[in-house]
Structure 1
Amino acid sequence: MKNSQLYKGSLNTIIMKLLEENGKMYGYEITQKVKLITNGELNITEGALYPALHKLEADGLLDVEIEKVDNRMRKYYKLTESGQKETINRLTELENFIKNMQTLVNPKLEF
């Protein structure tokens, strides 16, 4: 990840937002979607993604479905009901953080 320290605290929120929008996704699909949306500016590594997915699952925010695709087993992740509620909370928190950072970085702009 470029500027990984800046993105590190937002990884779970990014994952949850993508799952909210797409229903269910598998790990590689998540990494590619982030790369596509950010025009290659943000690359999530497997070393960052899978621990985050496992933590979200352990916290009861994600469910896992295993499906056979092209003779391979693939793990799909999707939000639980509590995961959907938590996504809304985290997105609101992130939006407020971004607004406050914009105010601090460029106080002359009004939002």
Structure 2
Amino acid sequence: MSNSKLYKGSLSTIILKLLAEKDKMYGYEITQKVKEITNGELKITEGALYPALHKLEADGFLQVEVKKVDNRLRKYYKLTEAGMKEKVHKINELEQFIENIQGIINPKFSI
């Protein structure tokens, strides 16, 4: 998709959903998983990803675990209990938004 601006408002939801499916992930792994799931249509940049991760962490939805991998420190992100609750809230919110947009794009006519 050439206009990734449509995804921008959903980035936190995407992150929360991916982390709920996998116990913990590091930043690059998140970008690659999104790219894989969307067949390359959505490419999340570091400039978008890391501020979103830091905000989710500051809001108490993520905890960070630093591990040494191949002589480098790698930050793994994991959902907190509050993060699991926020994931449910965000997904419900996004589903409602999609339903509303569908109603605008393909209105059902009543006779």
Tell me the C-alpha RMSD between the 2 structures.
1.4
TM-score (norm 2): 0.93
Distance 2:71 2:2 in 1: 35
Distance 1:2 1:90 in 2: 24
1:4, distance to aligned residue in structure 2 (A): 2.6
Gaps of 5+ in 1: none
The count of corresponding residues between Structure 1 and Structure 2 is 109
Equivalent residues of 1:2, 1:43 under 8 A apart: no
Q: Identify the residue that residue 86 of structure 1 maps to in structure 2.
A: 86
Distance 2:23 2:3 in 1: 28
TM-score (norm 1): 0.93
Deviation string 1:73-106 (CA, Å, 9 cap, x unpaired) is 1100011100000100000110111111111101
The 3-state SS of whatever aligns with 2:74 is: strand
Q: Percent of aligned pairs with the same residue?
A: 73
Q: How does 1:1-111 map to 2 (within 5 A)?
A: 2-108=2-108
1:5, distance to aligned residue in structure 2 (A): 2.1
